């Protein structure tokens, strides 16, 4: 997503072509809330700053809030690695509730891990109301792999990978490593369901929280974007809420084939039947897209 993220995960920078803005917004346009991915920050001019500017140019008059998790950009970046996700979600819920511009509702767009974090906001904090959630490469069923990539920050990835492989579900790793909180090990399903502090909760793995289910179904649209040549997210099917079948680590299943969907533990089957789920695919690696694609495929959801 950013230069840092490119070095860290090999995702490459966003490909934003210098195309003419699309004009013609109206006064009813809802504000947009953005949540960045791992290794990124709210305001990097090469990533989220560029996205914010692009949306503002494309939809004149729109209010765009790019979330900062912490008091500084440095804290924001670090917290994407080391701050308890549940605390991050609570912080964001409080910030959104206090923003008078959002009182009548807002749309939300999360990039990479920001996608599942914003879904947690929708499930836990229905006021102010989120109308449309767009998950751009979000890991909705978690990940089971962290690719080895070269770069000046590769030692961070190496350290995270070692912690995940040695004890993703230990209390200290769960509490202090963000990526462990959406680490989904299909070979240790019982450990995952029992000890995952974040993902197992929002995905209703232990019990069905009817409030989560009700709140998620309040969305008008839940849009999931999958990068068809994604070499960063493993498995890439998680971006469409699919995942590896339990008990092995090779064969995947779609959302519609999963127990989560068949038992409708989160309300996704009902949302699908109501036409509220949209699955978009785009060519390219993780978080690589053009401005032309963004304007054609995602901007219509923001109007």
Q: Are strands 252-253 and 243-244 parallel, antiparallel or unpaired?
A: antiparallel
Q: Which residues of 10-24 are buried (b: 16+ CB within 10 A; e: fewer)?
A: bbbebebeeeeebee
Is 286 in the active site? yes
Is 112 in the active site? yes
Q: Nearest 5°: phi and psi at 76?
A: -55, -45
- CA atoms of 12 and 235, how far apart (whole Å): 18
Q: Which residues of 243-266 are buried (b: 16+ CB within 10 A; e: fewer)?
A: bbeeeeeeebbebeebebbeebbb
Is 231 in the active site? no
DSSP assignment letter at 222: E
Going from the C-alpha of 127 to that of each of 28, 93, 118, 168, 236, the distances in angstroms are: 19, 8, 13, 33, 31
DSSP assignment letter at 183: B
Number of Cβ within a 10 Å radius of residue 3 = 15
Which residue in 40, 185, 230, 237 is the catalytic one?
A: 230
Which residue in 6, 41, 47, 112 is the catalytic one?
A: 112
- CA atoms of 85 and 199, how far apart (whole Å): 10
Query: Annotated active-site positions, please?
Result: 112, 230, 286
């Amino acid at each position: 997503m950013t230069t840092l993220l490119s070095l860290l995960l090999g995702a490459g920078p966003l490909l934003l072509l210098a195309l003419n803005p699309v004009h013609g917004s109206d006064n009813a346009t809802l504000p947009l809330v953005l949540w960045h991915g791992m290794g990124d920050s709210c305001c990097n001019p090469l990533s989220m700053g560029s996205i914010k500017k692009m949306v503002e140019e494309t939809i004149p008059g729109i209010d765009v809030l790019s979330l900062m998790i912490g008091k500084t950009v440095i804290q924001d970046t670090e917290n994407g690695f080391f701050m308890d996700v549940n605390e991050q979600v609570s912080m964001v819920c409080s910030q959104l509730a206090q923003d008078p511009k959002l009182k009548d509702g807002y749309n939300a767009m999360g990039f990479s891990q920001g996608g599942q974090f914003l879904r947690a906001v929708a499930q836990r904090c229905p006021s102010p109301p989120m109308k449309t959630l767009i998950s751009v490469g979000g890991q909705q069923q978690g990940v089971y792999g962290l690719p080895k990539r070269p770069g000046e920050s590769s030692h961070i990835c190496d350290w995270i990978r070692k912690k995940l492989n040695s004890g993703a579900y230990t209390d200290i790793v769960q509490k202090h490593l963000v990526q462990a909180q959406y680490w989904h090990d299909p070979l240790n399903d019982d450990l995952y369901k029992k000890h995952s502090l974040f993902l197992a909760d929002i995905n209703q793995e232990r019990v069905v929280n009817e409030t989560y289910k009700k709140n998620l179904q309040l969305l008008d649209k839940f849009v999931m974007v999958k990068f068809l040549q994604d070499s960063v997210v493993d498995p890439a099917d998680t971006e469409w809420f699919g995942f590896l079948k339990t008990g092995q680590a090779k064969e995947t299943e779609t959302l519609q084939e999963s127990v989560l969907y068949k038992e409708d533990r989160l309300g996704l089957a009902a949302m699908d039947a109501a036409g509220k789920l949209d699955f978009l695919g785009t060519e390219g690696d993780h978080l690589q897209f053009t401005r032309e694609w963004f304007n054609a495929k995602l901007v219509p959801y923001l109007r």
